[in-house]
Amino acid sequence: MTRSASDPAPISSKSLGERFKEGQEQSLTIQLTEEVAQAFTQWSGDCAPLHTDSEFARSRGFEQKVVHGAALFSLVSRFVGLGFPGPDSLWTKADVKFHNPCYAPNEITITGVVSLVSESTSSVILAISVTDQQGTELMTVKSFHKIMNARE
Local confidence band at 14 (pLDDT 50, 70, 90 cut-offs): confident
Q: What share of the chain is helix, strand, coil (3-state, %, to 5)?
A: 25, 35, 40
Asked whether residue 2 is domain-assigned, the answer is: no
Q: Domain limits at 40?
A: 19-147
Q: What is the CATH number of the domain that holds 139?
A: 3.10.129.10
On average, the pLDDT of the chain sits at 92
Confidence of residue 15 (pLDDT cuts 50, 70, 90): confident
This prediction's pTM: 0.88
* pLDDT (0 to 100) of residue 140: 98
Strands (E), the chain: 25-32, 89-98, 106-118, 123-131, 137-147
Residue 151 is predicted with a pLDDT of 66
Q: Phi and psi of 107, rounded to 5°?
A: -110, 120
Q: What is the mean pLDDT of residues 90-104?
A: 98
What is the tens place of the pLDDT at every residue in 117-147? 999 999 999 999 999 999 999 999 999 999 9
In-domain check, residue 4:
no
Domains in the chain: how many in total?
1
Q: 130 in a domain, yes or no?
A: yes
